[in-house]
Amino acid sequence: MFKYIKSTVDPFVTVIIWIYYIGGYLFFFWPFHVWAYFFSANRELGFQKVNRRIYQSFFFVLRKITPGFKLHIPADVMAIQSSVIVCNHLSFLDPILLVSLYEKQKTIAKSTFFKLPVFGWLLKNSGYLPSDTSGYFFDLMRERIADMPDYLAGGGNLFIFPEGTRSRDGKIGPFNKGAFSIAKKCRAPIAVLRIRNTGSLFPPDKILFNTCVDTTISIELITTLEPAYDDEDFSLSRLIESVHIRYTDAL
């Protein structure tokens, strides 16, 4: 009986949530982006606020229709500001979950997404960064990085998944240095987060949500670092190694 119920609920939840995600934008949210584009005093911030509302509503609906799904975000995670956030990566849900938490948020997205109609327009106007720094994207990335110190100083967060891809086994893979290089350039603190169970609810390489099982998605603040970037003995590689060890110890 359980297998029959699950085989029915999994596709039902998947279809409903993606109908809501796409239909909700087309029939409700897009005017807010248009308003932000033409009338917001700060276009990027206006887009980021709308993005947050979109994904807050996404997770609200997901909680309502998904048996067994709970979401736990502690206050110390919600309170993070003016930081480069590094986080493990388990599912496509991870970036939209982090967007839903912070009114001011930027991240790095695949450069191919910037070329898509509508979605590329949203990414550019939200101030998000392309993953590629060559060709057309070189000037865009340079502009984004030049503005980043002021953005972070104003309370914004930049979140990055330093593994660069989703983990299939929950283990922490090698880190790319990009997030840490940006933090060094901006003299920014680093907030180290760990997401749990997004890969259980929406696994990598799967189409359907995994419902009807107890799944609590949570985020833990492992530590906050304020590296002494200007010290003569500061080492970016040692910083990266230190953060990787903290993840390993938290497993």
CATH at 115: 3.40.1130
User: What single-letter amino acid sits at 115?
Assistant: K
Question: What is the pLDDT, as a whole number, of residue 234?
Answer: 94
Check: CB of residue 180 under 8 Å from CB of residue 159: no
Check: CB of residue 70 under 8 Å from CB of residue 217: yes
What is the C-alpha to C-alpha distance for residues 89 and 166, in angstroms, rounded to an integer?
Answer: 5
**Torsion on CA atoms 207, 211, 214, 220, rounded to nearest 10:** 40
Domain count, the chain: 1
Check: CB of residue 133 under 8 Å from CB of residue 141: yes
What is the C-alpha to C-alpha distance for residues 196 and 101, in angstroms, rounded to an integer?
Answer: 15
Measured CA angle at 192 (ends 218, 243), to 5 deg = 130
| Residue 126: how many other CB atoms lie within 10 Å | 23
Q: Which range of residues forms the domain containing residue 216?
A: 2-250
Question: What is the pLDDT, as a whole number, of residue 5?
Answer: 83
**Residue-wise pLDDT tens digits, 54-75:** 999 999 999 999 999 999 999 9
Taking every pair of C-alpha atoms in the chain, what is the biggest distance, in angstroms?
65
- pLDDT band of 2, cuts 50, 70, 90: low
| pLDDT over 70 at 27, yes or no | yes
Task: Classify residue 201 as exposed, middle or buried by CB count within 10 Å of its CB (0-12, 13-18, 19+).
Answer: buried
Q: What is the mean pLDDT of residues 117-134?
A: 92
Phi, psi of 172 (to 5 degrees): -90, 125
- pLDDT band of 168, cuts 50, 70, 90: confident
SS3 73: coil
Signed CA dihedral, 90, 93, 99, 102: sign only: negative
What is the C-alpha to C-alpha distance for residues 233 and 231, in angstroms, rounded to an integer?
Answer: 5
**Residue-wise pLDDT tens digits, 198-245:** 999 999 989 999 999 999 999 999 999 999 999 999 999 999 999 999
- pLDDT band of 91, cuts 50, 70, 90: very high
Question: What is the pLDDT, as a whole number, of residue 148?
Answer: 96
Question: What is the pLDDT, as a whole number, of residue 184?
Answer: 96
| pLDDT over 60 at 1, yes or no | no
User: What single-letter amino acid sits at 124?
Assistant: K
pTM recorded for the entire structure: 0.94
